[in-house]
Amino acid sequence: MPKLPEEFADLERFSDWCLPTEEERYQKRLNSTMAEMQELYDAGMARLEDIMVYVDARFPLKGMPDDAKALVHLGQSIVMVSFPVEVWKQPRVLDSGAAYINLIKEPVV
């Protein structure tokens, strides 16, 4: 069963990146290869503006249907892999050692 709206069927293969929390998206990033992130980045960046327009034009933030929420989460994952792909060339932040960010509150969606 598709997770994303029909208009985004081309991104359905990345539905495992439709993760609702930043922590889940971060762990997915750390456990992914650069090739996997590059594939998401290439397909996703080409559609990122379409994702924003689709969601902003059709739905209020509260009461968004599940497929639109999944699309928002996918967009957040696309952004999450942008620095590793564009700058660091690795999943982790360069020279960060054992440093870790602990998010105490999720954004609303």
Tens-place pLDDT, residues 8-38: 999 999 999 999 999 999 999 999 999 999 9
Confidence at 5, pLDDT banded by 50, 70, 90: very high
Distance, in Å, from the CA atom of 50 to the CA atom of 56, rounded to the nearest integer, reads: 10
In the numeric block, the tokens 């929390």 are attached to 21
47 closest CA partner among 106, 4, 85, 91 = 4
Distance of CA 23 to the CA centre of its chain: 12
Q: How far is CA 54 from CA 9, 28, 57, 92, 98, in A?
A: 14, 25, 6, 31, 39
Where do the domains of the chain lie? 6-88
